[in-house]
Structure 1
Amino acid sequence: MLFLVAALLLLGVLLGPVAHAPLPFTLAAGTVIALWLAVFALRERHARRRRSAD
Protein backbone atom coordinates (compact mmCIF):
# COMPACT_ATOMS: atom_id res chain seq x y z
CA MET A 1 0.00 0.00 0.00
CA LEU A 2 2.86 2.36 0.81
CA PHE A 3 4.35 1.64 -2.60
CA LEU A 4 1.06 2.60 -4.26
CA VAL A 5 0.91 5.88 -2.35
CA ALA A 6 4.52 6.68 -3.25
CA ALA A 7 3.91 5.82 -6.92
CA LEU A 8 0.82 8.04 -7.11
CA LEU A 9 2.67 10.89 -5.40
CA LEU A 10 5.57 10.58 -7.82
CA LEU A 11 3.17 10.43 -10.78
CA GLY A 12 1.46 13.60 -9.58
CA VAL A 13 4.77 15.41 -9.18
CA LEU A 14 5.95 14.34 -12.63
CA LEU A 15 2.70 15.00 -14.50
CA GLY A 16 1.80 18.21 -12.70
CA PRO A 17 4.27 20.37 -14.63
CA VAL A 18 3.32 18.69 -17.92
CA ALA A 19 -0.22 19.98 -17.55
CA HIS A 20 1.16 23.52 -17.64
CA ALA A 21 3.73 22.96 -20.40
CA PRO A 22 2.95 23.91 -24.00
CA LEU A 23 1.60 21.07 -26.14
CA PRO A 24 4.56 20.98 -28.61
CA PHE A 25 7.02 20.66 -25.72
CA THR A 26 4.94 17.89 -24.13
CA LEU A 27 4.75 15.98 -27.42
CA ALA A 28 8.49 16.38 -28.05
CA ALA A 29 9.35 15.18 -24.54
CA GLY A 30 6.96 12.24 -24.91
CA THR A 31 8.56 11.28 -28.21
CA VAL A 32 12.06 11.41 -26.72
CA ILE A 33 10.98 9.24 -23.78
CA ALA A 34 9.24 6.74 -26.09
CA LEU A 35 12.35 6.44 -28.27
CA TRP A 36 14.56 5.98 -25.22
CA LEU A 37 12.28 3.21 -23.92
CA ALA A 38 12.24 1.51 -27.33
CA VAL A 39 16.04 1.53 -27.52
CA PHE A 40 16.24 0.18 -23.99
CA ALA A 41 13.78 -2.63 -24.80
CA LEU A 42 15.67 -3.61 -27.94
CA ARG A 43 18.99 -3.67 -26.08
CA GLU A 44 17.50 -5.82 -23.33
CA ARG A 45 15.99 -8.25 -25.85
CA HIS A 46 19.31 -8.48 -27.68
CA ALA A 47 21.21 -9.09 -24.43
CA ARG A 48 18.72 -11.77 -23.32
CA ARG A 49 19.06 -13.62 -26.62
CA ARG A 50 22.84 -13.46 -26.37
CA ARG A 51 22.77 -14.91 -22.83
CA SER A 52 20.41 -17.76 -23.78
CA ALA A 53 22.54 -18.67 -26.83
CA ASP A 54 25.69 -19.15 -24.71
Structure 2
Amino acid sequence: MIFLVAALLLMGVLVGAAAHTPLPVLLPAAAAIALWLLVFTVRERTKER
Protein backbone atom coordinates (compact mmCIF):
# COMPACT_ATOMS: atom_id res chain seq x y z
CA MET A 1 0.00 0.00 0.00
CA ILE A 2 2.87 2.34 0.78
CA PHE A 3 4.30 1.69 -2.69
CA LEU A 4 0.99 2.69 -4.27
CA VAL A 5 0.90 5.92 -2.27
CA ALA A 6 4.49 6.64 -3.29
CA ALA A 7 3.64 6.00 -6.94
CA LEU A 8 0.66 8.36 -6.80
CA LEU A 9 2.77 11.01 -5.08
CA LEU A 10 5.50 10.66 -7.70
CA MET A 11 2.93 10.89 -10.49
CA GLY A 12 1.50 14.03 -8.92
CA VAL A 13 4.93 15.63 -8.78
CA LEU A 14 5.64 14.69 -12.40
CA VAL A 15 2.27 15.92 -13.62
CA GLY A 16 2.83 19.21 -11.79
CA ALA A 17 6.27 19.53 -13.31
CA ALA A 18 5.05 18.49 -16.77
CA ALA A 19 4.19 22.06 -17.70
CA HIS A 20 7.85 23.03 -17.27
CA THR A 21 9.48 19.85 -18.58
CA PRO A 22 10.49 19.38 -22.23
CA LEU A 23 8.56 16.66 -24.04
CA PRO A 24 11.62 14.44 -24.75
CA VAL A 25 12.19 14.21 -20.98
CA LEU A 26 8.54 13.87 -20.00
CA LEU A 27 7.62 10.98 -22.30
CA PRO A 28 10.27 8.50 -21.07
CA ALA A 29 9.48 9.39 -17.46
CA ALA A 30 5.77 8.85 -18.03
CA ALA A 31 6.46 5.58 -19.83
CA ALA A 32 8.65 4.35 -16.96
CA ILE A 33 5.96 5.12 -14.39
CA ALA A 34 3.26 3.50 -16.50
CA LEU A 35 5.40 0.38 -16.93
CA TRP A 36 6.09 0.21 -13.20
CA LEU A 37 2.37 0.51 -12.40
CA LEU A 38 1.55 -2.17 -14.98
CA VAL A 39 4.09 -4.56 -13.45
CA PHE A 40 2.72 -3.81 -9.98
CA THR A 41 -0.84 -4.50 -11.15
CA VAL A 42 0.08 -7.79 -12.83
CA ARG A 43 2.00 -8.95 -9.74
CA GLU A 44 -0.92 -8.09 -7.45
CA ARG A 45 -3.47 -9.84 -9.63
CA THR A 46 -1.42 -13.00 -10.06
CA LYS A 47 -0.48 -13.25 -6.39
CA GLU A 48 -1.85 -16.38 -4.74
CA ARG A 49 -4.20 -15.70 -1.88
Give the TM interval when normalised to the shorter protein: 0.5 to 0.7
SS at match of 1:17: helix
Match of 1:26 in 2: 26
When Rg is computed on C-alpha atoms for both structures, the one with the higher figure is: 1
Could you say what the CA RMSD is over the residues aligned between the two structures, in angstroms? Answer: 1.2
Identity of counterpart residues, as a percentage? 51
Match of 2:38 in 1: 38
- Which structure's residues are more often helix, by fraction? 1
**Runs of 5+ consecutive residues of structure 2 not aligned to the other structure:** 1-11
**Runs of 5+ consecutive residues of structure 1 not aligned to the other structure:** 1-10
How many residue pairs align between the two structures? 37
Which structure has more relative contact order (CA 8 Å, sep 6+)? It is 2
TM-score (norm 2): 0.65
